[in-house]
């Protein structure tokens, strides 16, 4: 059965992913199971999505109840879950208004439109430019790719939207050099994920905030992967004492259902008016009920407290592994978003870890990324570490 499923998928799905030869069937807590019953400890959480782990009863019951009530209405009408989720997002982010999307990439698209419309409202022309960061990742749609700092992702799809300039992450002078009267916004991840797990330095993010204030530009922070509690704060920027003008979120916002959002404050929150933006499915009762429930569970179960309790143990464990193996050259991250950088491509390490029953994922070309569900316990970290050590010894010969 497993081989048949893989063959059917390979013959009918577009080859936009190099998938592992696994057919996942169900999940429970920290673990995923294949159709043949093979069990895996999950340290990828669906690329940072499943913050609450698999099979959370309160979450599942809320979704089942909403299915029986109403899935979709369109945005021509109000619905209670959207109002509740909007209130939760604004309170958590410190923003004034939010727009719900179907994905993180769509959230980035919306944030770009906010920046350009805000500039148009302020300057009275559409000569705006946006400063983005090299090695960044913001999504796969044309607008999101345009602000993604990896030429290989952009070049096959050019011409993209224009007016995007790229600075070096954590190099404030490189950002300042790009500012001029056309600058509408700076967009950046608070903690770069796909680029290799690089947190912003306090001096950098605070300096970019100051530059935006001085030039009347918006600061857009992408918290799609690093937000929703992964850093130990609800949003990573809250550790730096800065507040963006626009924030994008997705992934763990819905903990499994496709929902994203961009939220804004001040004049940016009112930049888009009727007719400027829309989404047929965005903000429907089902996904908004999921998002509202996620916020409820975070509060009820003190998820942030748990992250702050267990994240130091993950850090200590990965530090020991870094010290044990010469092939591990750096260790970076915040909270439960950490990475080990290798002196070689880590793909074989990831594959070997799966043979030992642990799912890990890579970042950039040399980093293994650790994004466990936020319910992870010390015993799971120990289990992961044992498999990782074995994988490194088997693949890199050390």
Q: Are 34 and 24 in contact (CB under 8 A)?
A: yes
* Confidence band of 388 (pLDDT split at 50, 70, 90): very high
Residues whose CB falls within 8 Å of the CB of residue 302, separated by 6 or more in sequence, listed in order? none
Element (H, E) at 308: helix 303-324
Q: Residue 1 pLDDT more than 90?
A: no
pLDDT of residue 197: 98
Q: What is the pLDDT of residues 340-365, one digit of tens each?
A: 999 999 999 999 999 999 999 999 99
Q: Are 166 and 149 in contact (CB under 8 A)?
A: yes
Report CA-CA distances (Å) from 204 to 167, 222, 225.
Answer: 12, 15, 20
How far, in Å, CA of 249 to CA of 227, rounded?
Answer: 7
Q: What is the DSSP string of 1-18?
A: -HHHHHHHHHHHS-S---
- Our CA dihedral for 372, 71, 101, 14, rounded to 10 degrees, sits at 70
Q: Are 337 and 370 in contact (CB under 8 A)?
A: yes
CA dihedral sign, ordered 194, 195, 196, 197: negative
Q: What is the pLDDT of residues 74-130, one digit of tens each?
A: 999 999 999 999 999 999 999 999 999 999 999 999 999 999 999 999 999 999 999
Q: Which domains does the chain have, with CATH numbers?
A: 2-56+302-396 (3.90.1150.10), 58-300 (3.40.640.10)
Residue 148 carries which DSSP code?
-
Q: What is the pLDDT of residues 287-340, one digit of tens each?
A: 999 999 999 999 999 999 999 999 999 999 999 999 999 999 999 999 999 999
State both tokens at 374: 């936020």
Residues whose CB falls within 8 Å of the CB of residue 87, separated by 6 or more in sequence, listed in order? none
How far, in Å, CA of 286 to CA of 69, rounded?
Answer: 9
pLDDT of residue 7: 94
Residue 73, number of CB atoms within 10 A of its CB: 13
* Confidence band of 398 (pLDDT split at 50, 70, 90): low
How far, in Å, CA of 142 to CA of 159, rounded?
Answer: 9
Mean pLDDT of the chain: 97
How far, in Å, CA of 251 to CA of 222, rounded?
Answer: 12
Which is it for strands 39-42 and 358-359: parallel, antiparallel or unpaired? parallel
Residues whose CB falls within 8 Å of the CB of residue 129, separated by 6 or more in sequence, listed in order? 163, 164, 165, 180, 182, 183, 184
How far, in Å, CA of 23 to CA of 392, rounded?
Answer: 25
Q: Residue 369 pLDDT more than 80?
A: yes
How far, in Å, CA of 195 to CA of 367, rounded?
Answer: 9
Report CA-CA distances (Å) from 153 to 129, 162, 178, 289, 384.
Answer: 20, 15, 22, 34, 32
Residue 259, number of CB atoms within 10 A of its CB: 30
Residue 61 carries which DSSP code?
H
Q: What is the pLDDT of residues 207-255, one digit of tens each?
A: 999 999 999 999 999 999 999 999 999 999 999 999 999 999 999 999 9
pLDDT of residue 378: 98
Residues whose CB falls within 8 Å of the CB of residue 123, separated by 6 or more in sequence, listed in order? 181
How far, in Å, CA of 129 to CA of 162, rounded?
Answer: 8
Q: Which of 262, 279, 259 is nearest to 113 (CA)?
A: 262
Q: Residue 397 pLDDT more than 80?
A: no
Residues whose CB falls within 8 Å of the CB of residue 176, separated by 6 or more in sequence, listed in order? 207, 211
Q: What is the pLDDT of residues 16-37, one digit of tens each?
A: 999 999 999 999 999 999 999 9
Residue whose token pair is 């109403």? 70
Q: Average of pLDDT values for 381-389?
A: 98
């Amino acid at each position: 059965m497993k081989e048949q499923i893989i063959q059917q998928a390979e013959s009918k799905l577009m080859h936009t992913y190099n998938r592992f030869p696994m057919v996942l069937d169900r999940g429970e807590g920290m673990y995923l199971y294949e159709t043949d019953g093979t069990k895996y400890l999950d340290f990828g959480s669906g690329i940072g999505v499943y913050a609450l782990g698999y099979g959370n009863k309160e979450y599942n019951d809320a979704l089942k109840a909403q299915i029986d009530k109403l899935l979709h209405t369109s945005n021509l009408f109000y619905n209670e879950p959207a109002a509740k989720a909007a209130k939760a997002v604004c309170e958590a982010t410190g923003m004034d208004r939010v727009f719900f999307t179907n994905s993180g990439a769509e959230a980035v698209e919306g944030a770009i439109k906010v920046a350009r419309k805000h500039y148009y409202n302020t300057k009275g022309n559409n000569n705006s430019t946006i400063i983005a960061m090299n090695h960044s990742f913001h999504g796969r749609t044309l607008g999101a790719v345009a602000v993604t700092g990896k030429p290989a992702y952009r070049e096959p799809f050019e011409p993209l939207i224009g007016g995007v300039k790229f600075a070096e992450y954590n190099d404030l002078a490189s950002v300042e050099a790009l500012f001029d009267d056309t600058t509408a916004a700076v967009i950046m991840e608070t903690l770069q994920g796909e680029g290799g797990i690089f947190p912003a330095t306090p001096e950098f993010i605070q300096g970019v905030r100051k530059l935006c204030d001085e030039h009347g530009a918006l600061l857009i922070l992408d918290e799609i992967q690093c937000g929703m509690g992964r850093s130990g704060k609800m949003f990573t920027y809250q550790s730096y004492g800065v507040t963006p003008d626009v924030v994008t979120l997705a992934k763990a916002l819905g903990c499994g259902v496709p929902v994203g959002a961009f939220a804004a404050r001040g004049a940016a929150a009112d930049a888009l008016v009727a007719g400027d933006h829309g989404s047929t499915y965005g903000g429907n009762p089902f996904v908004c009920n999921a998002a509202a429930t996620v916020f409820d569970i975070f509060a009820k179960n003190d998820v942030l407290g748990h992250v702050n309790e267990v994240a130091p143990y993950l850090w200590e464990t990965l530090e020991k592994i870094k010290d044990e193996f010469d092939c591990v050259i750096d260790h970076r991250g915040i909270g439960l978003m950490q990475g080990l950088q290798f002196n070689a491509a880590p793909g074989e390490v990831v594959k070997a870890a799966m043979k030992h029953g642990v799912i890990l994922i890579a970042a950039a070309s040399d980093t293994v990324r650790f994004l466990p569900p936020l319910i992870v316990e010390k015993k799971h970290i120990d289990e992961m570490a044992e498999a990782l050590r074995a994988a490194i010894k088997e693949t890199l010969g050390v």
